[in-house]
Structures are given as structure tokens and as C-alpha cells.
Amino acid sequence: MENETVAYPMPRIGDPAPEFKAVTTQGNINFPGDYKGSWVILFSHPADFTPVCTSEFITFAAMEEKFAQANTKLVGLSVDGLYSHIAWLRTIKEKIEYRGMKNVEVKFPLIEDITMEVARKYGMIQPGESSTKAVRAVFVVDPKGIIRTIIYYPLSLGRNFEELYRIIIALQTADAFNIATPADWQPGDDVIVPPAGSCGVAKDRMEGKEDMHCYDWFFCTKKLDKDTVLKTVLQKK
């Protein structure tokens, strides 16, 4: 029984984030309990001291303050140990300059998960890709501890961190204004009313109203200016 591996279900959007306690480069954490009231991006990378992961960490760490302004904390994970994490983050700070970013200090916690217990809870070990490394997973968890977005990338593909920022802004905008966001939405672009999934009454209700446009009975948009979005999202701490 001792070495038996527990099989966890794959986490899903709308589920409470699976709970865990872990050792990190910033001390012990209790997830998601310690993060109540904040949005969190919990993400995994395959291994310390590897090139794609290094480019990702430098990029994400350089954006940490931007995420903080949107009430969003970052938490990293790999199946490496704490001393490997510490040595890698020190190397990043002291030696690596990438795309003009240098002396980058990773201040957010990086979880050690040598038993792969957390990685398995979050479906980060995908044996078709690797059974010894976590894939590049991204979990966006809201202030109530609910998973709101999940993305998995393969080992070879570095993430687009501007897209992760867009996801945070879009989710918070959808919550605050009860709207949905169309393809490639950016703050300042028109938003969809009513939220996807409750269409039908939109066209009659919206037609003729200022700032509304209906493409058809199931597809109506309205204006939502950039300042209103950013003021709402960036001040809600």
C-alpha cells in the first residue's frame, strides 16, 4: 500500500481548486486557502535549468507587478527540489539577460514537488508527453478558490504571458459587468450581452439602445470603454 499512487480526477473549470500544502521558495503555503480574496495563476514548468522554462520565468517575473495590480498572485511548480529551485532562480537573477530583462528576481513562490503529489492532483503529469516532468499547465483560480480557466501546453511550447494577463482582465470584466468577451477581445473592444448561454431575449431587449449592436437574435454587443474596464479591474484589490 505504501508506494501505491492515488489516481486523481482531472480538475475541471468550475471545480474548487484541489487543496494542498507545499514547501516553496517563499516558505510553506496552504493552497488555495492562503490566497482567498486574490486571483491566482498556479502554473507548472517541466524542469529547472532548462531554456524554455528560463525564458518563461524571466518573462512572468518581469510582469509580476502588472498581475499584482489586477489582484493576481503567481505560484509556480515543478517536480524539482527546493535547492534546485533556489540555485536556478539565483542563476536567472545573476547571469541571464533575456530580451532586455536582466537582474530579474523571482519573488513569487515556486513549489517543490518531488513526490509529484501536487502535479498529479492538477493533471500536470501527462505520460504521453512525459511521465517524469510536469507539462506547462496554467490554472486560473478566482478569489473564492474556484478554477476559472485551465490551459495545458506541451514541453516544447513557451507560453504567451500577455494572453494570461488578457485572461485575468477578461474574467474579471465578465464577472463585474455580467457580459462575455468575444474572440481576441481586449479592454476597450465591444463586449457580448447577455453572457453566452443565455441568448434569445437579447435582440428585442437591446435593439435601439445606445451603444448596442445586434448581428442577429443570438449575437448582440455593447460598448464598454477601456477606462471603465481598467478602473474596475485594477482597483479591485
Nearer to ligand BEZ, 155 or 212 (CB): 155
For 134-170, b/e burial (b = at least 16 CB within 10 A) is bbbbbbbbbbebebbbbebbebeeebebeebbbbbbb
CB of 51 to ligand BEZ, least distance (A): 4
Q: How far is the CB of 76 from ligand BEZ (least distance, A)?
A: 13
- Should residue 52 be labelled a site residue for ligand BEZ when binding is judged by CB under 6 A? yes
Contact 144, 37 (CB under 8 A): no
Q: Which is nearer to ligand BEZ, 47 or 150 (CB)?
A: 47
Query: Do residues 136 and 153 lie in contact, with contact meaning Cβ atoms separated by under 8 Å?
Result: yes
Active-site residue flag, 53: yes
The yes or no reply on residue 47 touching ligand BEZ (CB under 6 A) is yes
* 25/50 with CB nearer ligand BEZ: 50
| 127-156 footprint of ligand BEZ as x/- string (CB under 6 A) | ------x---------------------xx
Maximum separation of any 2 CA atoms in the chain, in Å: 67
193 near ligand BEZ (CB under 6 A): no
Annotated catalytic residue, options 53, 199, 214, 220: 53
Q: What are the E-state strand segments in the chain? A: 20-24, 27-31, 39-44, 72-78, 110-112, 136-141, 147-153, 191-193, 212-216, 219-222
Burial (CB count within 10 angstroms: exposed 0-12, middle 13-18, buried 19+), residue 183: exposed
CB under 6 A: which stretch of 4-12, 42-50, 103-111, 181-189 binds ligand BEZ?
42-50
Q: Is 46 in the site for ligand BEZ (CB under 6 A)?
A: yes
- How many residues appear in the chain? 237
Phi, psi of 177, deg, nearest 5: -115, 5
**Given candidates 9, 37, 51, 197, which one binds ligand BEZ under the rule CB under 6 A?**
51
Segment interacting with ligand BEZ (CB under 6 A) among 50-58, 65-73, 76-84, 116-124: 50-58
Spatial CB neighbours of 138, under 8 Å, sequence gap ≥ 6? 41, 42, 43, 149, 150, 151, 152, 153, 159, 164
- Angle of CA points 74, 33, 163, to nearest 5°: 25
53 binds ligand BEZ (CB under 6 A): yes
Pick the stretch among 34-42, 46-54, 116-124, 190-198 that binds ligand BEZ (CB under 6 A).
46-54
Q: By CB under 6 A, which span of 44-52, 73-81, 117-125, 144-152 interacts with ligand BEZ?
A: 44-52
Catalytic residue positions? 53
Residues found near ligand BEZ in the complex (CB under 6 A): 46-47, 50-53, 133, 155-156
